[in-house]
Amino acid sequence: MMGEDIRFHSENSKNRRFVFLGKAAIYSAGTTFMSFFSLENRYLTRGTRLMIHERKLDKQLHINGPLTTCVATVTAALHEIEASIAIQNEGFENLIRGSKVTMNEVLNRAPGNWYIEANEAKSLGLVAEVL
């Protein structure tokens, strides 16, 4: 993952600085990518908006066969959802680390696609500066 590459090189290349500069609109994948940059290396241009939302799942669960197989199918789907929530929340924690935003606030606002304007992102401590 590109984000892990940024984290690795930021931690192991002390003579280099990796900076995120967001322009116009930073949607979910871009916001997740930004979260891998340390807070002091996150910048947005004026008028840029970040969008934070929950991961989405579109899946039909078809249950058919012996009952024990049915239980395994349902359990596998549940584990997929639980693992996806854990991965999502790790990303949220990376994004808000060192900011004024609480995890509770993210979890309450993310289901409705939370848009944050650049100056608000700066005041919340999600980015270092607005350029």
Q: Which residue has the tokens 């997929």?
A: 80
CATH T-level assignment (fold) for domain 2-130: 2-enoyl-CoA Hydratase; Chain A, domain 1 (3.90.226)
pTM of the prediction? Answer: 0.83
Supply the pLDDT for residue 84: 94
> What tokens does 98 get?
């060192």
* Nearest residue to 115 via CA among 61, 44, 59: 44
Range of lowest pLDDT (19-28, 71-80, 109-118): 19-28
Looking up tokens 């790790």 gives 90
pLDDT of residue 71: 95
* Percentage of residues of the chain with pLDDT beyond 90: 74
Mean per-residue pLDDT for 81-108?
95
**Taking 90 as the threshold, does the pLDDT of residue 83 lie above it?**
yes
* Distance from C-alpha of 126 to C-alpha of 47, rounded to nearest angstrom: 15
Strands 129-130 and 42-44: parallel
Tokens of 35: 């979260």
Stretch among 3-12, 86-95, 99-108, 122-131 having the lowest mean pLDDT: 3-12
Res 100: pLDDT: 97
